[in-house]
Amino acid sequence: MTENSFSPILIQFKWLDPAAAVDLRTPSYETAGSSGMDVCAAVADQVTIGPGARALIPTGFAVAIPTGYEIQVRPRSGLAVKHGLSLPNSPGTIDADYRGEVKIAMINLGQEPITIKRGDRVAQLVVAPVVRAAIDVVSELDDTARGSGGFGHTGV
């Protein structure tokens, strides 16, 4: 099987900000092996996020995702490592039935203010299948080696 021999999932895409269609890139994969599509900020000019502060960054677009899929919104590793910029709800989820503007919740975990400018790549979008669960209410659960041990129970 070759690197690009899979069938892509079709995501319908609509620019909501007419100016964005002219000066911003449509979300795209940077390399043939990329799992996430980079998404750009559609801020009017720029937004500065102070240390410990959060901001909701517009993208200027909406999407229609096929039923059975979601788009996960993930941080960009370079922004996280170099500047401490992350997503407080990572990964965020865009549900198949959501039709509003995609916005990116960002948090500055660094020590310095970070300025986001129009067109800056601020997050990654990863398309993923969704498996829905059915809940079976029972009076007992089966035993396992771990049992009810909590966080850090099995390691150092």
89-140 pLDDT per residue, tens: 989 999 999 999 999 999 999 999 999 999 999 999 999 999 999 999 999 9
Distance between CA atoms of residues 58 and 60, nearest Å: 6
> Do the bridges between strand 114-117 and strand 46-49 make them parallel or antiparallel, or are there none, so unpaired?
antiparallel
| Stated pTM of the model | 0.86
Distance between CA atoms of residues 11 and 153, nearest Å: 41
pLDDT beyond 70 at 40? yes
Biggest CA-to-CA distance, the chain:
59
What is the residue type of 87?
L
Map out the domains of the chain with their CATH numbers. 12-129 (2.70.40.10)
Confidence of residue 153 (pLDDT cuts 50, 70, 90): low
Distance between CA atoms of residues 127 and 8, nearest Å: 10
**pLDDT of 1:** 43
